[in-house]
Amino acid sequence: MLRLIQVENIKTFSSNTFRVIISLHLLLFVLVLLSISRIELSLGEFAVSRLFQFPYVWEFFPWVASWFNLLLAVLIIVLTCNEYRYNTFRQQVMNGMHEGHLTLGKVYIILLIALYALVLVVASGLLSGGMNKPVDAQWINMAGFQSVGMYFVQTIAYMALAFLFAVIFRNHGLSIILFILYLFPGEVIIRNLIFPAVEDYFPAKLISGLTPFPELFTNQLATVPGADIQMGPAAASALNSGESVAIALAYTVVFVMISYVILRKRSL
């Protein structure tokens, strides 16, 4: 296992694509937060500045970070397709590894990238909350922190789905295009026109719904006549958060297992 981790680290961290996309992800996240923080908007008792205070950062920052999960998914597609392009999967098998090792290697990278995203959200939330806390508030308020955990699950699930697309299609451009088309409009059409009764259980809708629009804002908008509060990455789901997390984790396992089966059955 240690050898596998070392190999994956060398392949990943030596990749220019990895460095560029991670840097872009970090830069966009920070710039968007800074841009929003400069907005002076008040609606009743709501103000944008409150989103940068405890405990509201734990809902708001994961929601903003979820906008950039597509970048992390594209990164997994590129890293996986590079394995086929440069025959590194084949070389690893020739060196004594099997398809299970190849799958575990990419799962390790997925977890590593998701951990980076988690640390980014937590660190920025602590910094923002600490800098913007009211005078009479406690230094750290962790209420609502479960939203950060749900974002972590969401990030892993998105990348696991991207890994599956890369294993199936093997080509950078084709995998990325089909992955994006599946997220929208592909799944939207399928679940709304063919399976509306179970639309809440479809992977893209369920996974995106793990980071809904911050409740602080939706509660205030609900008091405004005619206001549209469906501003999150997905419409509200009939499932509770625990059920959504459990199903998202189940989907993640399914995506990884299908990828493993495909790696075993098809020539590398």
Given the structure tokens 């005619």, which residue do they identify?
226
- Taking only the tens place, the pLDDT of each residue in 241-268 is 999 999 999 999 999 999 999 999 998 8
Question: Mean pLDDT of all residues in the chain?
Answer: 90
User: Domain of 229?
Assistant: 2-265
pLDDT at 237: 59
Indicate if the pLDDT at residue 105 is higher than 70: yes
pLDDT at 229: 45
Q: Looking at residues 217-226, what average pLDDT do you find?
A: 58
Q: What are phi and psi of 46, to 5 degrees?
A: -90, 145
pLDDT at 194: 84
**Which of the four pLDDT bands, split at 50, 70 and 90, describes residue 138?**
low
Cα angle: 99, vertex 259, 89; to 5 degrees: 40
**Which of the four pLDDT bands, split at 50, 70 and 90, describes residue 137?**
low
Q: Give the number of other CB atoms < 10 A from CB of residue 87.
A: 11
Local structure of residue 214 (DSSP, 8 states): P
Distances in Å between the Cα of 119 and the Cα atoms of 122, 125, 147 are 5, 10, 14
Distances in Å between the Cα of 22 and the Cα atoms of 84, 98, 163 are 22, 29, 17
pLDDT at 128: 94
Stronger pLDDT, 2 or 123, i.e. the higher one: 123
To the nearest whole percent, how much of the chain has pLDDT over 90? 73
Indicate if the pLDDT at residue 145 is higher than 60: yes
Indicate if the pLDDT at residue 99 is higher than 60: yes
Task: Give the count of domains, the chain.
Answer: 1
Given the structure tokens 């998202």, which residue do they identify?
248
pLDDT at 230: 46
Q: How far apart are CA 253 and CA 161, in angstroms?
A: 10
pTM tops 0.85? yes
To the nearest whole percent, how much of the chain has pLDDT over 70? 88
Q: How far apart are CA 143 and CA 102, in angstroms?
A: 39
**Which of the four pLDDT bands, split at 50, 70 and 90, describes residue 220?**
low
Among 17-21, 133-137, 180-184, 190-194, which stretch is predicted with the lowest mean pLDDT? 133-137
Q: Looking at residues 84-100, what average pLDDT do you find?
A: 93
What's the longest Cα–Cα distance across the chain? 66
Indicate if the pLDDT at residue 151 is higher than 50: yes
pLDDT at 235: 44
Stronger pLDDT, 174 or 95, i.e. the higher one: 174
pLDDT at 232: 42
- Taking only the tens place, the pLDDT of each residue in 20-41 is 999 999 999 999 999 999 988 7
| Sequence-separated (6 or more) residues with CB below 8 Å from residue 36 | 48, 51, 64
Indicate if the pLDDT at residue 56 is higher than 60: yes
pLDDT at 155: 98
Q: Which amino acid is at 199?
A: E
HEC-encoded secondary structure of 198-236: HHHHCHHHHHHCCCCCCHHHHHHHCCCCCCCCCCCCCCC
Asked if residue 167 lies in contact with residue 80, where contact means CB atoms within 8 angstroms, the answer is: yes
